[in-house]
Structure 1
Amino acid sequence: MNRTRVLFGVGVVLVLVVSGVWQFSGSTAVAPIEEVSTSTVASNTQAPSSITETPITPPSRPVQASFALAKEDTIASWDFKGAYTGNPELVTKAQNEINRLSGLLATATSSAMILSVGVANQYELLGDGTKQYEYLGRAIQASPENGLPWHNLGVLMERLDALRTARIAYEQATLLQPQLAVYHYAYLEFLIANMKDDTTNIEKAFTAAEKSIGKRQYLIDLRAEWETS
């Protein structure tokens, strides 16, 4: 069953919904809608299916990115078919939004993280993994204590089949903001979909989630799905 997830700004919350532009084969359990309080959200910024390890230097060559990928991971191509790929009108729309957000980012201070995530999201729509990666790195540098760019980095790495690196990024989001259920759900969904035999990390993730957010029904559903998969 396809797992689809979108995170987007609505006032001062991010809402997890089970529909949008990002699809994986994965969890059959349906994540509950969650409201996630954040300190700042860029208005009119689209965050597709994505949420960006320590400061990242933008890669000069996509296949040899300076971000420390896990040893076992390689990325054949950083380009993919984005939601706007092949649609000139939507491509122009994304480029205009990139220009707008980049202009704001040039003088931003407290909003630099969310603006960088916003630019990264536009590049996701265009299918430009290199630039998406770059701006997620900028977001991490701007706000290293926030889990949002780390989550989005996990989504990007999963899409590019750099699964061990994706696992690190998803987990980091849960470590930085353990009170946010959506990050625990996303990490567990990823593990169950891609690494269901990694009992050690899955049990560790369940334990951390239950400690941080309690034994919620969705965690029970995910465990049942994993144990019967």
Structure 2
Amino acid sequence: MRRKLAAGNWKMNGLVDDLSEIKALTEAHPDPDVDMLICAPATLIAQMAWARGTHALQIGGQTCHAERSGAHTGDISAPMLRDAGASHVLVGHSERRTDHGETDADVAGQAAAAHAAGLVAVICIGETLDQRESGHALTVITDQLRGSLPPGATAANTVIAYEPVWAIGTGKVPTTEQIGEVHGTLRATLRDLMKQAEGVRLLYGGSVKGSNAGEIFAVADVDGALVGGASLKAADFSPIVSALENA
């Protein structure tokens, strides 16, 4: 069975004082029945890894460069993330694709770099509202998956996160039928691309909160969530973790 994963993405939020939320989260779930992951700003990764103590909470970065090192001012490499205490890294988040022009090929390179450094790559894909309304959502997410998944991807080193761009931070959520259709398509596509397709965890992201998490987690092939704003506060993220534990 695929172990469920509750992942939070703090994005460009969080200062040292906010590490109190990590203490509150680990105290609320001292021995969780699911994996828990917080993808933190680079400035907080090492301190967050320290703040979790002996808890199983995993720490991730939010992006990485495809190269191990070099003249890339302002970038961070996968080995640097690993050295700081991260075990995972997001690659291909829609905000990176939009704000920084990252292509599927860029994302595949980043994921490969993550794998080489011993990190789990959480590869993000998702369609825009125009693409959804024009009936091209499945084609878009299938093409993104095929273009973003590097050779050597396995169930152990890769997680796929489906986040419809139009649902991120908007309060809008696809129907459970739409989520199920996408996740079923992703699973079928993975079967064409790799031998360990059944073991790869598929996360849903986009306006997930405690009040709708249970319904979302009941959908087939939804193995957890990638949560944005609701992961910043333990009081908001904890109900999502609980819903996943009860799914």
TM norm structure 2:
0.29
Greater percentage in strand: 2
Greater percentage in helix: 1
TM norm structure 1:
0.30
